[in-house]
Amino acid sequence: MKTAKNGTHFVTLANGYHLWTQTRGNGPIQLMTLHGGPGGTNEVFENFGERLAPYGVTATRYDQLGSWYSDQPDWTDPAIREQFLNIDYYVNEVEEVRQKLGLDHFFLLGQSWGGVLAIEYALRYGEHLKGLILSSMIDNLDEYIVNINAIRESMFTPDQVAYMKRIEADHAFTDAKYQALVAELGEHYLHHQSDPQPRHLISVMGTPVYNYFQGDNEFVMVGALKDWDRRADIHNITVPTYLTFGGHETMPLTAARRMAATIPNATLHITPGAGHGQMLDNPDDYFKHLGEWLLFSSSMPAAEKQPLAYHSCYCRDCLFSDSRFPTKPTKPFLLSSECGRGGGGARRSSRETTSTRGDCALCRLLLCWLGANARQR
């Protein structure tokens, strides 16, 4: 049986289970995505192939074991739970999927829980990576738990918070009022925009996987992930790393900035007007900056890659042809849409990027090597 190279395939693992995979795009930059949850689905990535095609990206997504589109083990069996419900299994699953799909020197993107797996993969199998993208995920759960509860304290009245804590102590999570409050927080911080989310007629959440790793919900984290902490190890991630977080996010941005300063080759981007699901809340900003970073990171020789910096240009007399700039640069820059078509702007060299207005497609897409000490006009 012969199937198309790109498209939907079921991968058969060595353990006999089957995983749903899909690859879209024909570009030379290979990207694999890891969904959140735990127990979520790949659907937030369904347009990645199309949105990243202008940057030469081929995007692969798959559902992890126990998620909706892949095989569902019998989680009532204690032996199965012990074998598969652990981080080691899911990290090794990523590696097996990579091998089955024939990927190497690829970019790995992890969203939320997928970011946990991406960090672990980079530390264990980093030789196969060309770059790492952590989308709305920090390197430990302690800071997240503190932050999500601080959000709750600031968002609800003291009486509402006390009510929620009583419900949680009683494990009465089906209480209608409690569920309404949890949903309200989700609409503000998980999904910040009005209605960008995939919809189903029934729940497609892999609840056994979620409950085991996470616990009962985002506030009651009593699962196996609660003690996960890689703060002491992320400095060992040496591949180019792109950290992207929503500006209205459940993950603490203070932790994101600390990570950007700790990982040797990291770039941090804050997606404005977005919550935890950045690619759904503000897709234009999310894909533009991700695509530029992928293009930049795939184009630079490995020994010369440095944290991404953005350079404002002047469209009416573009710096590309300016002979006053050195031909042999000492630091790479990516021209971005900060120019505003001839309005100019000060060059800034920073690991953190934000979105500003500007409509110069040339500057958004082209790579340029400029000297670190290039003179401003």
One pLDDT digit (tens) per residue for the chain, 377 residues: 777 778 999 999 999 999 999 999 999 999 999 999 999 999 999 999 999 999 999 999 999 999 999 999 999 999 999 999 999 999 999 999 999 999 999 999 999 999 999 999 999 999 999 999 999 999 999 999 999 999 999 999 999 999 999 999 998 988 999 999 988 887 776 666 655 566 788 888 888 998 889 887 777 777 889 999 999 999 999 999 999 999 989 999 999 999 999 999 999 999 999 999 999 999 999 999 999 999 999 976 544 445 444 333 333 333 333 333 333 333 333 433 333 333 333 333 334 554 433 333 334 333 333 322 232 22
β-strands 18-24, 7-12: how paired?
antiparallel
Beta bridge partners of 10: 20
In the chain, the amino acid numbered 37 is G
For the chain, percent of residues with pLDDT exceeding 70: 76
Helical packing angle, 253-262 and 142-155, nearest 10°: 150
H or E element, residue 100: helix 87-101
Q: How far apart are CA 350 and CA 376, in angstroms?
A: 17
Kindly give the pairing relationship between strand 331-335 and strand 352-353: unpaired
d(CA 229, CA 191): 25
pLDDT digits (tens, 9 = 90+) for 53-100: 999 999 999 999 999 999 999 999 999 999 999 999 999 999 999 999
Q: Is the pTM of this model over 0.85?
A: no
| Domains of the chain by start residue, with CATH | 7-143+226-302 (3.40.50.1820), 309-370 (no CATH)
Structure confidence by residue, pLDDT tens digits, 208-237: 998 889 887 777 777 889 999 999 999 999
State yes or no: cis peptide before 272, omega within 30 of 0: no
